Amino acid sequence: MFKRFARSQAVQAAVGRLLALYLKTVGATSRMELVPADLPERLRAEAPVIIALWHGQHFMIPLAKPADMPFAVLISKHGDGGINAAACESFGIRPVRGSGGRPDQMHKKGAVAALRDLVRILKGGESVTLTADIPKTARVAGLGIVTLARLSGRPIVPAAVVSDRAKVFDSWDRAAIGLPFGRIVALIGEPIRVPADADEAALEAARLRVQDELDRVHHDAHARLGTTDPGRDLRRAA
C-alpha cells in the first residue's frame, strides 16, 4: 500500500515541487562559480546542445540553467521519475519520459520512443539534458547519448554542478545533493561531436570520450572546491 501511495502521481508531483523549492533555496543561499566564466554564452553559441551528466550527480543541474535557454530532460518512466519530472517543471524544464538500458530492454523501457522524441526536440531548437551512464551501472557511459548526437547532429557538452556542502547517499550511484550556504561550481567541458556517418568503432570512441570527459569535469569541479567526487571509484569497483 505504501509503495502505491508513494508512486501516485499526486504524491510524486507534490514531492517534486518541494524538491524544487529546496534546490532553489540552496541556490539562493550559495555562491556559484561558473567555469568557464562565460558558460551561458558558450552554451548559447552551440545551442541546441546535449548536456551530459553522471547519474546521481544530476540534482543540482537546474541551478546552472541559463534562464533564456529552453531545455528538455530525459527522465525514467518508472520508480520516482515523477518526482524528478515535477521538480524539473518547476524550473521550466520540460520532462521527456523514457529511459535507456541494455538492448533487450530498450522497447520495454521506452528508449526508442524517447530517442525519437529527443531528436525531434533538438531539431526544433531546444536543448536536452540526460545522464550518460547505463541504469544501475554507474560511471559507464552508454551508446544512447552518442547515438542521439549522431542522429541529431548536435554536440554533447559534459557538465558537472557540485557543492562543497552536500549530502551523499549510500546508493548505487553515490547520489549527492547540495546543502544551503555552500559554494557551488558549475563546470562544462568542450563540445563532443559525432559525425552522421559514424560507424560502430567511431561510436565506441565517442562513448569513451564522453566517459572520460565526464570524469574530468567532475574531478575538476571538485578540485576547485577542495572536495572529492563521491562516485570517482564506482566504475573500477563494478
Please give the Cα distance from 107 to 83 (Å, whole number). 23
DSSP state of 154: P
DSSP state of 192: B
- Are 69 and 78 in contact by the 8 Å Cβ rule? The answer is no
Task: Summarize pLDDT for 180-197 with one digit per residue, the tens.
Answer: 999 999 999 999 999 999
Nearest to 144 by CA among 112, 120, 122: 112
Q: Kindly list the domain boundaries of the chain, sorted by start residue.
A: 2-237
- Are 91 and 20 in contact by the 8 Å Cβ rule? The answer is yes
Kindly state the average pLDDT of the residues 64-72. Answer: 95
Q: How far is CA 144 from CA 20, 97, 133, 163, in A?
A: 27, 15, 9, 28
Task: Summarize pLDDT for 106-135 with one digit per residue, the tens.
Answer: 444 567 888 899 999 999 999 999 999 987
pTM over cut 0.75:
yes
**Cα four-point dihedral sign 186, 37, 52, 11:** positive
Say whether pLDDT at 155 is over 90. Answer: yes
